[in-house]
Each structure stands twice: as C-alpha cells, then as structure tokens.
C-alpha cells in the first residue's frame, strides 16, 4: 500500500512535468522570433501565425480531451500525446521551411492539448476529494513555472546551443517523459477495481429515479443558454489573446530590437510577467472575504489592464528597464488576482452537473483568444515596417491594437452577473463559531 501511494505521487509528478511542457511551448516563440525571422526570412505576420497556430488545436480539443480521458485513461492518452509532442519538437528543430515549421508547431499544440484534463482526472481519481483543491493549486503553480522556464532559462539555452539544438534536446526529453508516463501511470487506483461513484453534492436537487445527467450536446445547449457566460468568455478571449500576443511573440523582439537588450536580459524581464501571477491564490481570498464579490475584482483588474498598455503605446522607445519590470509585474498581479474570481463566476452560474461543461466551454473561448488576436495584430504590424525592418512605430501599432482588445474586454465584463452568495459564507462562519452542544457528560458535541 505504501508503495502504491508512492507510485501515485511519482505518476502525478510526471503529469505535472507534462503540463509544464505544454505551457512552456505556448510562449517559446518570443525568445527566438528574431532568430526565426533572420534564419527563414520571415515577416511579422508569419511569426504571429507561427505562435498562434499552437492554440488552434489546443482550443478545439478542450471538450474532447475530457471524453478521451474517460475512454482511454491518463496513461494511454498522456503517453501517446507526449510521444507526439516529442516528434513535433524534433521536427520543429529540423525545419528549414516555413510550412514544415508551421505544421510541427500545429502538431505541438494538438499533442499537449490533452494533458490538462487528464491530469485533473488523475487527481480526482487517485487522491482523496479533500486534497483536490490543493492539488489543483499545484497545477496552477506549474503553469507559472512553465511560463518562467520559457523566458530567461530558454534565452540562456538558445544563446548556448542555438534554437535548433535547444528544441532537439526538448524533443528527446519529452520522449523520455512519454516512456516514464507509460511505465508509471495507472488508469485505476486499484487494478481490477472501479472507482466508487461520488456521493451526491449537498444542496443539489435529488435525482429523478431512472434519469441520468444530460448528454454531451444537450449539456452544451444548456450552458450556452445562460447569458451570463458570454461577458466572461468574451473578456477572457480578448484579454488572454492580447496577453499571449505580447508574452509569446513580441515582448522578446521589442526588448531586443527597440530597447537594446540582449536575449538573456530580455528573457529575465519577461519572467516578471509570470512572477506576478504567483499571487493568484490571494485572489480567491480577496473575492470571498474582502470584496465579497466575484464581479468587482474581475471588473477592476480588467479595466486596470487597459492602462497597462498606455505607456507602451505612447512611449515605446523611451521606457526604462525599471519601469518595464514594474509594468510587467503589475500585469501578472492583475491577471493573477482576477483568474480565480472569473473562473468561479462561471462555475457559480450553473448547477454542479453542468459546471464541468461550462468551464470547458469557457476554456475553449479563453484559449482560442491567442489563436485569433495575434494573427490580427501581427498583420497590422506588418503594414507598418520600414523596408521590412520593425521600428518603434511598428510595435506602437501592435500595442495599440492590444489596448483596444483590452478595452473591449473591460466593456464586456461590465455586463457580467454577480454570482457571489453571501449566505453561504454566513452559514460557514456560523458553523465555525457556534458553541458546541452539551451532551450532559461534560463533552461538547460539535457539527
């Protein structure tokens, strides 16, 4: 039994490393965009599409990933997808044409799209329900680590080995991780036993005898009928799209070509965009106990993110490294503080049997943002180059489009519904502070 528990943790670490790689791949283009433009004679629009194409299959697969996880289990699904990611990374490293590079990048997005959901399924299946929130927080923390690794550490790797050898090494490492997943991840807690059905959730209406949960397409229809979902999804689509356009593509070239930094200095600064996100667990506390609202912190942070772009639009070539670092940290903090509240808004709009579908659909709109927004912005930037060279004005145009997307996101979230239920927290507090009931034997009986 002790060995079984140890193996579960080993398997979880493998899954977390797999998710780490999936996040890492999202933003790698930023650290080598200038090298790719030079080596393959690419223009800004082509670089924008190269970064965005990762998100096309990734967004599309968010709902099917859950079905595949149920059908095949984490072991088979994650092992196969990691092997596919390894082959795609190696193909990317050997690409000498834009079309092959685009195809391998598309394959990377497809392969890592089926990591997040199976990891959550593994956590729910192999560990007690009381640990799920803690484990999910670890998964969020892994997201930040993946973004951090794709900044300064990747910059050092590229400077040391070159971008081709770097991705060759990443591909080989991913193949080794795929083998470890196949050998060490199980699909059931105990071989030959099925996981017991989850107990009913308190507060949910009792099921009707002979009835089951709605089907896949019926669930989507029911989720889409709730108008409160759309302001949140529009906000997330535009906000995450503009952020990824910056963090995964143009932050590196901007800092290198306009601010005169070397690759490692630029990568170190880009790390600050992710470091601010480490405060995300604090966002839940502020929403629950300070603002006592889901909408207020989300709206405030979204409007503040519009202001983030102002200095970059007005003074793209006159910002100091200190000011840029401050702005990057502020951006990470604002996104981190609103992340939990906006996700909770989606969950609280629906009964428990629809919350998974709602979160999956919202995640589709969120991750499709980087598939659409960067293509539009990069195309606009391509029309403002000087003899093919990117200038401060080129980046100012891109930052202006990003600010416009952020402003539309702020307007959209203003129409969202408040989902916070104060009575739930009042009941929780009263249960914590209520005196025990005396049972007559000198012992206090508590709930």
- List Cβ neighbours of 215 (8 Å cut-off, separation of 6 or more): none
Could you read off the pLDDT of 204-239 as tens digits, one per residue? 444 444 455 567 778 788 889 999 999 999 999 999
| pLDDT band for position 130 (cuts 50, 70, 90) | low
Q: What is the pLDDT averaged over residues 59-84?
A: 84
Q: How far apart are alpha carbons 237 and 243 in whole angstroms?
A: 10
Tell me, yes or no, whether 310 and 423 share the same domain.
Answer: yes
Residue 336: what pLDDT? 80
Tell me, yes or no, whether 141 and 256 share the same domain.
Answer: no
| pLDDT band for position 408 (cuts 50, 70, 90) | very high
The stretches of 288-435 forming alpha helices (DSSP H) are 295-308, 310-314, 321-348, 352-382, 392-413, 422-433
Among 55-64, 172-181, 236-245, 258-267, the least confident range: 55-64
Out of 7-11, 229-233, 288-292, give the one with best mean pLDDT: 229-233
Say if 440 falls within a structural domain: no
Tell me, yes or no, whether 125 and 245 share the same domain.
Answer: no
- 121 pLDDT higher than 90: no
Say if 39 falls within a structural domain: yes
- Helix-helix angle 263-275:152-184, to 10 degrees: 60
246 token code pair? 């910056």
The domain tally of the chain equals: 2
- 440 pLDDT higher than 50: no
b/e code 298-314 from CB counts within 10 Å (16+ = b): bbbbbbbbbebbeebbe
Q: What is the pLDDT averaged over residues 67-85?
A: 86
- 437 pLDDT higher than 70: no
| pLDDT band for position 410 (cuts 50, 70, 90) | very high
Place of tokens 């639009």: 313
Q: 177 and 21 in contact (C-beta within 8 Å)?
A: yes
197 vs 211, residue with greater confidence: 211
CA angle 214, 62, 114 (to 5 degrees): 120
* Percent of the residues in the chain that have a pLDDT greater than 90, as a whole number: 55
72 vs 445, residue with greater confidence: 72
Could you read off the pLDDT of 308-340 as tens digits, one per residue? 999 999 999 999 999 999 999 999 899 888 877
Tell me, yes or no, whether 114 and 153 share the same domain.
Answer: yes
Q: How far apart are alpha carbons 215 and 204 in whole angstroms?
A: 19
Say if 73 falls within a structural domain: yes
Tell me, yes or no, whether 232 and 113 share the same domain.
Answer: no
Please give the mean pLDDT across all residues of the chain.
Answer: 84
- 180 pLDDT higher than 60: yes
56 token code pair? 């096309």
Domain boundary among 171, 189, 207: 189
Say if 136 falls within a structural domain: yes
The CATH number of residue 367's host domain is 1.20.1250.20
Tell me, yes or no, whether 274 and 175 share the same domain.
Answer: no
Q: What is the pLDDT averaged over residues 139-163?
A: 90
Say if 6 falls within a structural domain: yes
- 287 pLDDT higher than 50: yes
Q: Which domain holds residue 85?
A: 1-189
Q: 105 and 53 in contact (C-beta within 8 Å)?
A: yes
Say if 209 falls within a structural domain: no
- 435 pLDDT higher than 60: no
Mapped onto helix, strand or coil, the DSSP state of residue 289 is helix
- 177 pLDDT higher than 90: yes
> What count of other Cβ atoms lies within 10 Å of the Cβ of residue 347?
16
Say if 179 falls within a structural domain: yes
Tell me, yes or no, whether 181 and 234 share the same domain.
Answer: no
Q: How far apart are alpha carbons 375 and 64 in whole angstroms?
A: 25
Residue 424: what pLDDT? 62
| Distances, alpha carbon 42 to alpha carbons 49, 154, 189, in Å | 11, 21, 50
Residue 346: what pLDDT? 81
- 446 pLDDT higher than 60: no
Tell me, yes or no, whether 137 and 62 share the same domain.
Answer: yes
Tell me, yes or no, whether 74 and 7 share the same domain.
Answer: yes
Residue 357: what pLDDT? 72
Tell me, yes or no, whether 103 and 231 share the same domain.
Answer: no
Residue 191: what pLDDT? 43
Tell me, yes or no, whether 244 and 166 share the same domain.
Answer: no
Q: What is the pLDDT averaged over residues 390-401?
A: 96
Output the pTM of the full model: 0.75
Tell me, yes or no, whether 364 and 271 share the same domain.
Answer: yes
Residue 233: what pLDDT? 95
Residue 169: what pLDDT? 96
Say if 21 falls within a structural domain: yes
């Amino acid at each position: 039994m002790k060995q079984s528990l140890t193996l579960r943790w080993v398997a979880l670490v493998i899954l977390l490393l797999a998710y780490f790689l999936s996040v890492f791949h999202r933003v790698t283009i930023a650290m080598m965009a200038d090298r790719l433009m030079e080596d393959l004679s690419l223009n800004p629009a082509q670089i924008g599409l190269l970064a965005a194409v990762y998100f096309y299959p990734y967004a599309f697969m968010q709902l099917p990933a859950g079905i595949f996880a149920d059908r095949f289990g984490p072991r088979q699904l994650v092992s196969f997808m990691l092997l596919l990611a390894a082959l795609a990374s190696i193909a990317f490293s050997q690409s000498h044409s834009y079309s092959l590079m685009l195809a391998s990048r598309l394959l990377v997005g497809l392969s890592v799209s089926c990591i997040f959901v199976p990891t959550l399924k593994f956590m729910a299946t192999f560990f007690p329900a009381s640990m799920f929130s803690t484990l999910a927080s670890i998964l969020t923390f892994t997201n930040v680590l993946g973004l951090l690794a794709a900044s300064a550490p990747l910059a050092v790797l590229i400077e040391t080995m070159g971008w081709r050898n770097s991705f060759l090494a990443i591909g080989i490492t991913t193949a080794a991780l795929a083998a470890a997943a196949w050998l060490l991840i199980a699909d059931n807690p105990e071989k030959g036993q099925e996981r017991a059905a989850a107990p009913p959730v308190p507060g949910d209406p009792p099921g009707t005898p002979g009835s089951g949960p709605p089907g896949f397409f019926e669930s989507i229809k029911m989720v889409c009928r709730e108008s409160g979902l759309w302001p949140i999804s529009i906000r997330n689509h535009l906000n995450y799209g503009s952020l990824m356009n910056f963090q995964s593509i143009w932050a590196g070239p901007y800092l290198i070509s306009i601010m005169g930094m070397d690759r490692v200095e630029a990568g170190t600064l880009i790390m600050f965009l992710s470091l601010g996100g480490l405060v995300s667990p604090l966002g839940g506390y502020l929403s629950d106990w300070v603002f006592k609202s889901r909408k207020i912190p989300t709206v405030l942070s979204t409007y503040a993110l519009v202001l983030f772009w102002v200095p970059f639009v007005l003074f793209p070539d006159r910002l100091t490294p200190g000011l840029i670092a401050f702005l990057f940290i502020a951006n990470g903090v604002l996104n981190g503080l609103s992340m939990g509240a906006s996700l909770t808004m989606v969950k609280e709009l629906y009964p428990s049997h629809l919350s998974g579908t709602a979160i999956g659909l919202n995640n589709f709109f969120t991750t499709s943002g980087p598939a659409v927004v960067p293509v539009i912005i990069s195309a606009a930037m391509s029309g403002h180059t000087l003899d093919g060279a990117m200038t401060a004005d080129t980046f100012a145009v891109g930052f202006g489009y990003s600010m416009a997307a952020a402003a539309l996101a702020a307007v959209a979230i203003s129409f969202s519904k408040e989902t916070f239920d104060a009575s739930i927290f009042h009941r929780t507090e009263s249960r914590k502070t209520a005196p025990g009931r005396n049972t007559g034997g000198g012992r206090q009986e508590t709930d």
